[in-house]
Structure 1
């Protein structure tokens, strides 16, 4: 079932973008206001990282331990970014989420950022598919 659904049909097409020079405090505010687990970090139109809730927690803890300001997104973002191709299937995306323990991933078309996909988006795809074509229950 999931191998027939395309990531591009379930992704967020205009994700909120963060800048590496943004403060961690401002990035956390964006995540909270938008109900996001993470957001792509873009510099001059190029994807340079992902900033997640965990990255925000690290920044807050470091600031508390060292009694300093909370820092910049560039200091805490993940630079090694797993990316989903917009032509990937929802099944491939689900497998990547489970392998990498991420809650959201950027979606690219070649080198261009075209969206973002979360685990919740995959669950919505499963739910929508189940409503249109109920699955048989099988036990393991």
Structure 2
């Protein structure tokens, strides 16, 4: 398990948002892609935030539907984002998920988003490892 890295299980072309994107447009994209969140990046693909379904829902509940319509991603995104490196091993990725209660983590190298790992993918790899170990 130590040899499996984030790079081997990440989506290397993840959905991402500009801070200037509209929240409603971003939410539609999240739902269409069946994603619970996505990184917010600047023009150079540097990670500057993260927008989750919860961020969108929080905005809708706090201000009502009509005030959310004109909001931008930058108004709702989380700016303190936990991320992992491409070489982070599967065990460390799983530990990170256990401690932060997130469903997705951006994979970042030199400040730039290079991928996205879903908690589900980590669980699938862990189950695959268990199945292989038990079948020996």
Q: What is the TM-score with the length of structure 2 in the denominator? A: 0.89
- Structure 2: which 5+ runs fail to align? none
Aligned residues, how many? 134
**2:90 corresponds to 1:85:** no
Distance change in 2, residues 1:76/1:60 (3 Å): same
Q: Where does 1:1-140 land on structure 2 (aligned, <5 Å)?
A: 2-45=1-44, 46-64=46-64, 68-70=67-69, 71-134=71-134
Distance 2:126 2:105 in 1: 18
Residue 97 (structure 1) shift: 1.2
User: 2 CA distance for matches of 1:135 and 1:38?
Assistant: 36
The SS at the match of 1:35 is: coil
RMSD: 1.8
For the Cα contact (< 8 Å) 1:85–1:110, is it kept in 2?
A: no
